[in-house]
Amino acid sequence: MAKKYGIKDVVFRPLAAAQWRPIIEQGQADVAWGGGPTLFDSLYKDGLLLPLEGDEVKVAIAQIPKTIAGMPMMRTGPDGKVYWVAWAVSSFGITINTKVLKTVGLPEPKSWADLASLNYGKGVLQGFPVAGLARLTQSTSNTRIAEIILQAYGWDQGWVVITLTAANGKIFGGSEAVRDAVIAGDIGAGWTIDFYGYTAQLQNPDTKYIIPPDTSVNGDPIAVVKNTKCRAAAEAFVAWVITQGQVVVFDPKINRMPVNPNAFNTPQGQKRPDLKAIYDQLLTLKTINFNDTLALSVENVVMYYFDAAITDNADILQQAWAKLLEALNSGKIDRAAAEALAKKLGEPVNFTDPDTGEQVKLTLEYAMKINDKLADPTYRDKIYAAWREAARKKYQEVASQIP
């Protein structure tokens, strides 16, 4: 195919998303590859993607499922033409160490909420917190998982799930550290993007990647861009990526999920039954309808609130949680009382607005209102301090209510 279209060199230019538009408009790129569907849909709406119309690329696209886990694997315009197609599938889930969970006496988690449950507190009572997640300011994948949870459970309950997951475990400096802790058996379950889970499975047979139903899946697009000087060759490259080129995902250093089911019929694909089993699961999985626009509208708040309220107060939070678990276990409080206190421990704080001096609650609406203001370091420092102090007082107050 390269010889047919005179392709001698393929130059990759890793660029931040903000740099894509000028490069495309100036005709300095032929193919866009590597961003998520939100970015590609934005380029499509701005008229910066060309329809994939060549015979070869049409044959290749016909091999790709239109949806996986209910999410689109291509963008089809009102004209019926395809403007981007997925080359890989990404999911966000939980990587577990089955040996650790069995030792602690816990079942495999079936949802994000399981990691935040009183039941998973069994590990805490044994001196072995089993859950792991990363500081959100240090991990884009864990930030996305937090955003998924907030949309799956709603803002208030979502924060209960996130906060109590941290209470049930450890907060790490980054997502790689979470994965490595699961592999090593230092924790029993951790938030991970899919290919970290696949890597774990290759390195330790006691590990397993789980995709909860309350998660999100997306196709990672590739497209031909406006102003390309070699459209036919660019389309041929796209066709190659989503057909023969799919085998590169099986390399242990890449470890991605192919979008094309035919990839599993290749010699390389037949060596990865672990990925094939997950692919088959994805085909029937029903996930949440994740809203990227909503996620972006509160992303700064989600990251910095997590660090202020949870990371900086992890010791006080975990002490209050341990006291709650011990009270429930000893019969000092019943389960209904424990669940009420757990909810109070995890829900978003009431705090003093640093600009107005008024008492406010960190609602979704408030988060959307102030999200962009967090780009100002002075404002961010003030509200960060307010969140940290309010969370500390709340954890201490809950602890004081536990007999």
Please identify which residue in the block is written with the tokens 């990363």: 134
pLDDT of 191-244, one tens digit each?
999 999 999 999 999 999 999 989 999 899 999 999 999 999 999 999 999 999
Q: In the predicted model, is pLDDT for residue 21 greater than 80?
A: yes
306, 354, 383 from 379: Cα distances, Å: 17, 8, 6
What per-residue confidence (pLDDT) applies to 252?
A: 87
What is the number of other CB atoms lying within 10 angstroms of the CB of residue 153?
20
Domains delineated in the chain: 17-89+218-283 (3.40.190.10), 291-403 (no CATH)
Condensed to tens digits (0 to 9), the pLDDT of residues 110-145 reads 999 999 999 999 999 999 989 999 999 999 899 999
3-state class (DSSP) for residue 319: helix
pLDDT of residue 14: 85
Confidence of residue 1 (pLDDT cuts 50, 70, 90): low
> What's the pLDDT tens digit per position in 332-375?
999 999 999 999 999 999 999 999 999 999 999 999 999 999 99
For the residues 285-301, what does the mean pLDDT come to?
Answer: 90
DSSP 128-184: ---EEEE-GGG-HHHHHHHHHHHHHH-HHHHHHHHHHHHHTEEEESSHHHHHHHHHH
pLDDT at 253 > cutoff 90: no
pLDDT interval class at 11 (50, 70, 90): confident
